Amino acid sequence: MTFLPQRFLLSCLVLFSCSFLLPVFSRGLIYKPPKVEQLTDHFHPTPVAGNMLTIFGAPNIHMKRNGSYADIILDKTSGSGLVSKEKYFHGFFSAAIRLPVGVTSGVVLAFYMSNSDVYPHNHDEIDFELLGHEKRKEWVLQTNIYGNGSVKLGREEKFYLWFDPTQDFHQYSILWNTHHIVYLVDNIPVREVIHNQASSLVYPSKPMSLYVTIWDGSEWATHGGKYPVNYKYAPFVASLGELEIEGCSLMQTTNSSSIGSCSKNIAHSSFDPLEGDEYIKLTKQQMVGLNWARTKHMFYSYCKDTSRYKVVPPECNA
């Protein structure tokens, strides 16, 4: 009399387990993010059109909502990209971005800071790179940093996202000052690079422009072109808005030299516009968020890539 109920319960358990595992195989485990401070609420959005210039692919850039938002597009004719009108030294840089839907292998959306146009051989860079998935209709988040170096000296870390970045806008933010660099996704820290003796050689130290680009990264992003962009699914349209730029702008003087000016404190010796403990170190809530992101969603770190780095970089042991 008890066999059938037990068998029924076992069947239900199996069905429940299978239904629970479906998202595991299609998107990975979905964890609820912890609550953290909303740093993006500390700053005011600024129009994309008023602060960014076209750097390439002008026909594939469409301003919307009176310039507050923009669509940047990749198709078989070209990718497209925007660059800030000014260069900045330290600050908070953020944008809300919605990624292209569908089959996006080989498509790369980058939100980053760089000065490679001025320092081609020893440039600095702080990157968010969103990579179209090789096989599934998903995206991977990669963070990277260069300091006084080249692309061969990158410090990549990769994450699976805990949301579908194609269905809504999500915030990608960079906090950069003399103390640390923090990468945040929807205000949750996913990576912190602390400025200390171990990291000093790779820590960005020169003013940079802010970029957002979409381009064909087939050869780089998909195992040497194994999963190239399939333009049958083009155009690939990314949207961005809620741009926040709070940094020290680098201005040219009449004698071609450069000076820094801070919007909050021009006389600040470090040219750091972000003052206060909330910008110098992570709070307890933010540390919880950082640990959550790295334990639940990070799947690659250069610090553990012994095939690439025979000697572990010094900052990995700091």
129 is catalytic: yes
Q: Tens digits of per-residue pLDDT, 193-205?
A: 999 999 988 899 8
* Helix (H) / strand (E) containing 237: strand 236-252
Q: Tens digits of per-residue pLDDT, 36-85?
A: 999 999 999 999 999 999 999 999 999 999 999 999 999 999 999 999 99
Query: Catalytic one among 37, 86, 125, 157?
Result: 125
Q: Identify the three-state secondary structure at position 243.
A: strand
* Helix (H) / strand (E) containing 23: helix 3-27
Q: Tens digits of per-residue pLDDT, 82-138?
A: 999 999 989 999 999 999 999 999 999 999 999 999 998 889 999 999 999 876 778
Query: Catalytic one among 129, 192, 242, 315?
Result: 129
- The residue to which tokens 């909050």 are assigned: 264
Report which residue type is found at 242: E
Q: What is the pTM of this model?
A: 0.86
* Helix (H) / strand (E) containing 288: helix 284-296
CA-closest candidate to residue 316, choices 191, 205, 183, 129: 191
Kindly tell me the sign of the dihedral angle through the C-alpha atoms of 36, 247, 69, 238: negative
